[in-house]
C-alpha cells in the first residue's frame, strides 16, 4: 500500500512540475508577444528610441557624424588611436538649450547589449555638449552645436557598435538625435573585390561582393558560430546583408566567395546631384532661385526615370552631402537654409508602396513619421501630384552639395528598391563595407575586428 501511495505521489509531483514549467513557458511567450506588440506600437510614436540614425524633433536638422577632418567619412574610428568623431547639428529654435549625450553599446545586430555603462565607458556616463555657436547674418536663425568623441568627459573601453544619443538636460527619455557609430579593434584582414553578379539573371543588374578573411595573428575558435559578417552598400542599412557564414576554411583563410546570389546587391545607378553653395546664381541643375518672405527657394530641373536609359558615367559622392557656402566664410554658422523643390514626372501613381528621395540628405531613412523639417511629408517621402502627373517633394536643407536617388519602398517592406526609377546598371561605381564581428566564448559583446571598404573598379 505504501509503495502505491509513493508512486502516486511521485506521478502527481512530476505532473505538477510539468504543468508549472508549461505555465511559465506560456507566460514567457505571452510576455514576448506583448513586448513585441508594444515595440511595434511604440515605433510610430516619434519619441520611441530607435537604434538607428534618427531625428526626433522638428527643430533639429543638418545632423552630421563623421571622422574628425573628413566630412565624407563614415562614423568609424580605430580603437586605441587618436582618431575622433565629430557630431554637429543645428537647432532652429533661437534659444540656447542645454543638451546632454550618452552612448549605448550594441551587438552586431544593433540591439543594446546587457553590459553596464561603466563596463564600456570611462568618465561620465552622461555628459554635456559644451560647444555651440549662433548663426550669423542668415535669414533662418539657428544655433549650431558640436561635439568631439571620445573626449576627457567620456571615452570608450570596448570595440563594437554604438548608439550616440542626444537629449535635453535630465530628460534621457526624450531623445532628439540617435546616431550609429563603430569602433574597430583590428583582428583580421579583409581582401575582396566587387564584380558582376554570377547568377545569369542578375549579371547585368547586380553587384557581387566576394572576399576572404585572413586570421594570421588572431585566433577564432569556432568561426561558424562566433563570427558575424555584415555587408553594406554606400551609406545604406536598409539593404544590408547580415550574418554571412564562410563557405570553407583554408589554413588561416575564411572564404566568402559566394556565387549563388547570397552576397549580391542591386547595382543601382550613379547618384543624381545638385548644388546650392551660392544663392547669387543658378547652378547647373537649378531652374529657378527666389528669395521669398519665408526664405530662399530653389527649384530643381524636373528629373526623369532612368529605368530604361543607357548608363552614363560621371563622378559622384555615393549619396553623401557636404555643407558649404560660397557666399560667406564659415558655412557652419553662415550658410543659409533653402527650400529645395524636387519633381519626378511619372504618368501615373505607383500603387503598393511609396516613392522616396534617398541619400544622406534624408538620413537614408524611409517611411518614418513626418516629424522633421527635412521633408514636408517625412524623411523624403514624395507625394503624387495628379495635375502635374508626377511625384514632388520639398526639403529644407542647409547650403551645400548633395547626392540623391529616387527609391521605391513596397508596402510592408524595409528594403527599398532602385530598379523601377533609377534602373540597375552593373557599371555603377558603389562602395561596399565589410564589417566583421567576433563574439569570444564567454563574452557578452561583439568585438568589431574589421571594417574594410571595397569599391567598384
Give the CA distances from residue 283 to residues 78, 271, 359, 443, in Å, rounded to whole numbers and listed in that order.
39, 17, 20, 54
Sorted by where each starts, the structural domains of the chain and their CATH numbers stand as 54-184 (2.60.40.10), 189-267+430-455 (2.60.40), 272-410 (no CATH)
Give the DSSP letter string of 244-275.
Answer: ---SEEETTEEEE---SSTTEEE---PPEEEE
| Residues 449, 189 contacting (CB under 8 angstroms) | no
Predicted pLDDT of residue 49: 85
Contacts of 196 by beta carbon, 8 Å cutoff, 6+ apart: 203, 204, 206, 207, 208, 426
Read off φ and ψ for residue 36, nearest 5 degrees: -65, -45
Residue 450: name the closest of 77, 192, 78, 187 by CA: 187
| Residues 236, 365 contacting (CB under 8 angstroms) | no
Grid cell listed for 137: 547674418
Q: How many CB atoms lie within 10 A of CB 303?
A: 20
Asked whether the CA dihedral 254, 259, 264, 269 is positive or negative, the reply is positive
* 217-235 confidence digits (pLDDT tens): 899 999 999 999 999 999 9
Contacts of 92 by beta carbon, 8 Å cutoff, 6+ apart: 59, 60, 61, 140, 141, 142, 337, 373
Secondary-structure breakdown of the chain: helix, strand, coil percentages, each rounded to the nearest 5: 15, 40, 50
Partners of 447 in beta bridges: 438
Give the CA distances from residue 180 to residues 64, 125, 260, 436, in Å, rounded to whole numbers and listed in that order.
11, 17, 31, 16
Residue 167: name the closest of 97, 95, 99 by CA: 99
| Residues 337, 298 contacting (CB under 8 angstroms) | no
The segments of the chain whose pLDDT lies below 70 read 1-47, 367-378, 457
| Residues 269, 418 contacting (CB under 8 angstroms) | yes
Residue 227: name the closest of 452, 453, 454, 448 by CA: 448
How many CA atoms does the CB half-sphere of 328 hold within 13 Å? 17
Helix (H) or strand (E) holding 144: strand 143-149
Grid cell listed for 321: 552631402
Amino acid at each position: 500500500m505504501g509503495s502505491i501511495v509513493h508512486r502516486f505521489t511521485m506521478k502527481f509531483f512530476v505532473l505538477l512540475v510539468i504543468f508549472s514549467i508549461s505555465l511559465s513557458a506560456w507566460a514567457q511567450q505571452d510576455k514576448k508577444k506583448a513586448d513585441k506588440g508594444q515595440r511595434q506600437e511604440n515605433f510610430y510614436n516619434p519619441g520611441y528610441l530607435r537604434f538607428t540614425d534618427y531625428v526626433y524633433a522638428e527643430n533639429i536638422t543638418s545632423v552630421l557624424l563623421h571622422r574628425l577632418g573628413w566630412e565624407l567619412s563614415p562614423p568609424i574610428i580605430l580603437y586605441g588611436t587618436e582618431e575622433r568623431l565629430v557630431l554637429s547639428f543645428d537647432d532652429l529654435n533661437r534659444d540656447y538649450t542645454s543638451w546632454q549625450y550618452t552612448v549605448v553599446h550594441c551587438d552586431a545586430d544593433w540591439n543594446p547589449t546587457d553590459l553596464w555603462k561603466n563596463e564600456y565607458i570611462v568618465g561620465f556616463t552622461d555628459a554635456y555638449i559644451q560647444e555651440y555657436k549662433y548663426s550669423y547674418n542668415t535669414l533662418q536663425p539657428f544655433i549650431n552645436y558640436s561635439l568631439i568623441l571620445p573626449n576627457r568627459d567620456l571615452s570608450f573601453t570596448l570595440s563594437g557598435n554604438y548608439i550616440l544619443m542626444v537629449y535635453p538636460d535630465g530628460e534621457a527619455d526624450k531623445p532628439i538625435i540617435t546616431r550609429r557609430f563603430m569602433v574597430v579593434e583590428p583582428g583580421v584582414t579583409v581582401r575582396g573585390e566587387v564584380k558582376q553578379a554570377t547568377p545569369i539573371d542578375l549579371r547585368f543588374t547586380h553587384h557581387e561582393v566576394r572576399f576572404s578573411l585572413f586570421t594570421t595573428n588572431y585566433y577564432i575558435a569556432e568561426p561558424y558560430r562566433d563570427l558575424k559578417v555584415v555587408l553594406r552598400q554606400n551609406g545604406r542599412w536598409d539593404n544590408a546583408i547580415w550574418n554571412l557564414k564562410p563557405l570553407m576554411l583554408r589554413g588561416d583563410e575564411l572564404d566568402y566567395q559566394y556565387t549563388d546570389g547570397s552576397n549580391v546587391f542591386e547595382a543601382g545607378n550613379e547618384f543624381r546631384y545638385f548644388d546650392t553653395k551660392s544663392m547669387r546664381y543658378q547652378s547647373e541643375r537649378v531652374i529657378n532661385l527666389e528669395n521669398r518672405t519665408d526664405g530662399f527657394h530653389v527649384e530643381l530641373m524636373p528629373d526623369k526615370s532612368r529605368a530604361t536609359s543607357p548608363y552614363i558615367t560621371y563622378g559622384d559622392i555615393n549619396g553623401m552631402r557636404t555643407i558649404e557656402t560660397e557666399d560667406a566664410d564659415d558655412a557652419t554658422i553662415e550658410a543659409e537654409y533653402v527650400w529645395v523643390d524636387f519633381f519626378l514626372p511619372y504618368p501615373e501613381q505607383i500603387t503598393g508602396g511609396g516613392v522616396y528621395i534617398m541619400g544622406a540628405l534624408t538620413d537614408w531613412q524611409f517611411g518614418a513619421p513626418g516629424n522633421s523639417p527635412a521633408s514636408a511629408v517625412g524623411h523624403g517621402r514624395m507625394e503624387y501630384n495628379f495635375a502635374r502627373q508626377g511625384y514632388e517633394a520639398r526639403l529644407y536643407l542647409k547650403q551645400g552639395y548633395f547626392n540623391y536617388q529616387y527609391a521605391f519602398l513596397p508596402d510592408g517592406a524595409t528594403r527599398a528598391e532602385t530598379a523601377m526609377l533609377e534602373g540597375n546598371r552593373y557599371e555603377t561605381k558603389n562602395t561596399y563595407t565589410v564589417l566583421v564581428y567576433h563574439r569570444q566564448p564567454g563574452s557578452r559583446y561583439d568585438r568589431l575586428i574589421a571594417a574594410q571598404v571595397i569599391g567598384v573598379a
